[in-house]
Amino acid sequence: MPLQTVEPQRLYRQIAEQLRAAILSGEFVVGARLPAERDLAKQLGVSRPSVREALIALEVEGWVEVRTGSGIYVLDRSISSKEPQIDFTEWGPLELIRARRVVEGEIAALAALQAKKRDVNAIRVALDSMKKEAQQGILPIDGDRAFHTAIVQCCANAVLLETVQSFWDSRRGPVFTRLVGYFETAKSWQSAIDEHELILTAIAAHDGPAARAAMHAHMDKSHTRYSASWRRATSL
């Protein structure tokens, strides 16, 4: 079955559907290795990150297995039928990061202009929490959420606050959780903490453009970390 170009709406779901159909039709048999991400992206007319999200979704649902450094292999569904199903509304993690770049960049700029001393202190406390969690060998997700929440609270806007909270709630989905398992490490989190330090410095200095730029840089680097080759996943 030839692969078809897809439209950019819940893109990773559409890609996953096409690959699932190819498996069911026998184009990719049990035990076969799927084409490389770059080849699938070229055939489908989409980006490699979108293909990655689709492959992660298929892995979560038990259609394929990701073997780091080797490839993506088709599994026998007849002996594994209890995998979780992904909610149709779940956002793609990499697409989410790009959206956060747009929204939270402006939030950071506004926070820099409006932050009071207590707001800056709240952001600093959250960053200190991230550092403490990382030093204990714990991925500092709680501190990270507190950091971004403290920033948006500077804006005194309930809509922006709920928007940022919805971004964070989406991290609990199975696709994002599985992606985190491959690409978040102590080393990558230390890089993220350094990026958060720059955001805090800009907000504390009440420098809106610098805060926006620092948040953009953080999101860009996050996207890059999640887009690394599978071969590099365990070395980040």
Give the CATH number, domain containing residue 61: 1.10.10.10
For the chain, percent of residues with pLDDT exceeding 70: 89
Residue 71: DSSP 8-state:
E
pLDDT score at 195: 97
Task: Select, from the ranges 33-42, 114-123, 173-182, 227-236, the one with the highest average predicted confidence (pLDDT).
Answer: 114-123
Looking up residue 177, the CATH number of its domain turns out to be 1.20.120.530
Find all residues with CB under 8 Å of 13, minimum gap 6, and list them.
Answer: 54, 57, 86, 88
Question: How sure is the predictor about 64, in pLDDT bands with cuts at 50, 70 and 90?
Answer: very high
pLDDT band for position 81 (50/70/90)? low
Per the CB < 8 A criterion, the answer to whether 93 and 11 are in contact is no
> Does residue 54 contact residue 15 with C-beta atoms inside 8 Å?
yes
- For residues 53 and 148, membership in a common domain is answered with no
Predicted confidence (pLDDT) per residue in 189-234, tens digit: 899 999 999 999 999 999 999 999 999 999 999 999 888 766 554 4
- Choose between 233 and 76: higher pLDDT: 76
pLDDT, averaged across the chain: 88
162-191 mean pLDDT: 86
Of 15-24, 70-79, 201-210, the least confident:
70-79
- The DSSP output letter for 33 is B
- Long-range CB pairs of 138-143, under 8 A, 24+ apart, other chains included: 139/180, 139/184, 139/189, 140/189, 140/193, 141/171
Mean pLDDT across the stretch 54-67? 90
Task: Tell me, yes or no, whether 1 lies in a domain.
Answer: no
101 and 70 co-located in one domain: no
- 61 and 143 belong to one structural domain: no
Q: What is the pLDDT of residue 84?
A: 59
| 111 and 146 housed in the same domain | yes
Which residues 6+ apart lie within 8 Å of 2 measured at CB? none
- 41 and 156, same domain (yes or no): no
Give the domain extent around 61.
Answer: 11-79
Q: Are residues 63 and 106 in the same domain?
A: no
Residues 23 and 99 in one domain: no
Say yes or no: 182 and 231 in one domain.
Answer: yes
Q: Indicate whether 88 pLDDT > 80.
A: no
For residue 88, tell me if it sits in a domain. Answer: no
Q: What is the pLDDT of residues 123-168, one digit of tens each?
A: 999 999 999 999 998 889 899 999 999 999 999 999 999 999 999 9
Task: Decide if 15 is inside a domain.
Answer: yes
**Consecutive H or E run containing 64:** strand 64-67
